[in-house]
Structure 1
Amino acid sequence: MASILHIDSSPRGERSKSRQLAKEFITAWQDRHPDDAIAYRDLRQTPVPHVTEDWIAAYFTPPEALTPEMAELLKFSDELVDEFLAADRCVFSVPMYNFSIPSNFKAYIDHIVRVNRTFSDENGQFKGFANGKKVLFITSRGVEFGSGSPYEGWDAQEPALRYPFQFMGVTDIQFIHANGLDLGDDARKRGLNEARSKIQALVGSW
């Protein structure tokens, strides 16, 4: 039995295509693996606070020197880290906002990239602790970024997602992009159908 962490980040609720696609993946996965445990978090319903100066001060304070107030500031972050590390697989649905990611998912990343929790720093040598974990990002995008597109090279979303998790030691990182959703009915249908085909293929091999 595996443990799956499923996080939605779109603020659009049921109208969100990234949420819909992630739900389709999870439903198909549960059909094949009914004994797997699914932990779910909705960043729309439970927002992750952005880091503050006081939070940063607590972050860089050794555990034995934390005041009760500092420990309280890190409590939610500790919960997110524990949840992330406990999962064998992670499914994150993340829409593209202005060629990158929503601020709520950036805040989530900022709370789980934690020294001595998800990575170590020994004299400038970094080592991630999330080895062996699989991470899937399901995204929705208004335009297309392939060769010949007016926006070729503008994709700042995938690097913003890939590198923090790679830094934490994740080597199995996959993306399913639903592209061209704002380019008319035909492009939207094509983008969703391609994403759904990839979902069905990955469910059988992940």
Structure 2
Amino acid sequence: MPKAAIYARYSSDLQNPESIDDQFRLCRNLAERKGWEIVAAYQDEAASGASIRGREGMVQLLNDARAGRFDIVCAEALDRISRDQEDMAHIHKLLRFAGVEIHTVTEGHADELHFAFKGTMNALFLKDLAEKTRRGQRGRVEKGRSGGGLAYGYDVMPDHGDGAGARSINEAQALVIRRIFRAFAAGETPAAIADKLNRELIPGRQGIPGERPRSGDTR
């Protein structure tokens, strides 16, 4: 009986973590129909498919493939494995060298043609997504709103139906900013200013220097 590993990934905090379970269920159903024995399962949560970097599940899968733990890798679709052409080719090459086949629920047995075509389509998708994201951010910035993230000295205002990203001045942080500009105008170097603020434990966007972020803190 062929030994199979299943892999699942969802790309961001905006997606439902239950997506991992849904993908695994589809892969298990396919394995049952094909008569494969599932010997391993790997996953990457809130991980972009644009790069293999930071995807511990995929890295471990490739290491175990080299060790000969399984004969097949199964995923819901090729874009779950990667959206980057270079990474997709790299993963395909490593698995092929290890004698491991790739099967997906949507594409079936993935060969070189599948990888080449899907890699091109995914690259175009990422390019289009990046352009739309930049266009949306520019529009928000031109309206005086936050384009993503938040600069020190501002708070995000609630969305009252007039669009997200509105900002208001954080008066406490504004005092620190004015102090920084006065010190710089007086001839102090940025390093000296930062050192003085750190010694006084003035909190920045990441909190007080040396303090561990609170759970859920996205500063």
TM-score, shorter chain, exceeding 0.5: no
TM-score bracket relative to the smaller structure: 0.3 to 0.5
- Report the TM-score when normalising by structure 2: 0.32
**Greater gyration radius:** 2
The higher relative CO (CA closer than 8 Å, separation ≥ 6) is in 1
